[in-house]
Amino acid sequence: MTAAELAGRFAGLGAAGWGYVPYAALEQAMDSAARQKAQALCPGAAGVLVAAFPYFAGLRPGNLPLYARGLDYHLELPWRLDLLCADLARAYPGRMFHAGTDSSPLPEREAARQAGLGLMGRNGLIILPPYGSWIFLGTILTDQPLDLPRQAPSGPCMGCGRCIAACPAGALTEEGFAAERCLSHLTQKKGELPPEQAAAVARHPYIWGCDLCQTVCPYNARPARTGIPAFFQGLIDRLTPGDLESLTNRQFQQQYGQRAFAWRGPAVLRRNFALQAGQKTE
Ligand code: SF4
Ligand code: SF4
């Protein structure tokens, strides 16, 4: 398949950008477990297609991150990528094409960076104007070497430092990113949190996740909106404690199981509500 044909296919699937990187170029960014998983999935892995799917649907008030307000992207992206995998399998009989979204062993951001998609933000996110960093990445891993022009890797963002200044948890600093301090990680972490982490969650305006290093980014000031219905229809902007009250785990999954914020179950959300309520009554 030519680059023009792939561009048409990706655009038809709702992707705003795509690129290709030889698998060997990604290996040094993968630990041995990830390399083993990738090889088990696709022995003789040769290349990775990576695509960006926009999800910005407006900056509406709420306490959920924008990525988690629509349908779970883990449900929406795979079927889109699988359509292209089927086309590719017909074009290259006997070759393997595996779609991946988040759960893939591949380092998706590094794949996007090396494939030259957009810009590399200091907040660690790929920025794809005019969609900003409000994009989901999806990959296709294949054992078919694709003869596609290699793009220059993504350049850096303008480096204004607003994301670092805005980070409320000290996760993003001039020295780099400390995942264990990030509120996106802490609001999803199960169990009782140590006092310092609990206090950070209690002060946080979101009940799940964190958008702060994205909302301040100049590239996200007036982003283009997604054209993917699953990401702009039926949005849930806000959860309240009452939404979860007396729901069993099964009822919670029935009601919210197709949302990205549901994968940890209701207990972690209830814990976050309790921490935030405690903070307000102090
Ligand atoms: S998601 Fe929030 S806590 Fe995490 S680095 Fe960005 S601003 Fe900091
Ligand atoms: S806020 Fe500034 S430094 Fe941070 S990613 Fe955006 S442009 Fe880069």
pLDDT digit string (tens) for the chain, length 282 residues:
999 999 999 999 999 999 999 999 999 999 999 999 999 999 999 999 999 999 999 999 999 999 999 999 999 999 999 999 999 999 999 999 999 998 889 999 999 999 999 999 999 999 999 999 999 999 999 999 999 988 999 999 999 999 999 999 899 999 999 999 999 999 999 999 999 999 999 999 999 999 999 999 999 999 999 999 999 999 999 999 999 998 999 999 999 999 999 999 999 999 999 999 985 433
CA 213 / ligand 1 centre spacing (Å): 5
CA 220 / ligand 2 centre spacing (Å): 9
Ligand 1 atom 8: residue of nearest CA: 167
Which of 31, 72, 87, 102 is catalytic? The answer is: 102
102 is catalytic: yes
Ramachandran sector of residue 256 (left: φ over 0; alpha: ψ -120 to 50; beta: rest):
alpha
Residue 211 Cα: closest atom of ligand 1 = 1
Q: Is 119 in the pocket of ligand 1 (CB under 6 A)?
A: no
Residue 159 Cα: closest atom of ligand 2 = 3
Residue 158 Cα: closest atom of ligand 2 = 7
Q: Is 123 in the pocket of ligand 2 (CB under 6 A)?
A: yes
Where are any strands of DSSP class E within 117-261? Answer: 119-120, 126-127, 135-142, 155-156, 172-173, 176-177
- As a whole number of angstroms, the distance between CA 52 and CA 80 comes to 12
- Residue 229's identity, in one-letter code, is P
Q: Is 167 in the pocket of ligand 1 (CB under 6 A)?
A: yes
CA 156 / ligand 2 centre spacing (Å): 9
Domain ranges of the chain: 1-282
Q: Which of 210, 216, 217 is the pocket-test mutation for ligand 1 (most atoms within 8 Å of CB)? A: 210
Where are any strands of DSSP class E within 71-134? Answer: 97-100, 119-120, 126-127
- Residue 145's identity, in one-letter code, is P
Ligand 2 atom 2: residue of nearest CA: 160
Q: Which of 154, 158, 173, 215 is the pocket-test mutation for ligand 2 (most atoms within 8 Å of CB)? A: 158
pLDDT at res. 282: 37
Q: Is 158 in the pocket of ligand 2 (CB under 6 A)?
A: yes
Partners of 47 in beta bridges: 22, 142
Ligand 1 atom 1: residue of nearest CA: 210
Q: State the alpha helices, DSSP H only, in 125-188.
A: 162-166, 183-186
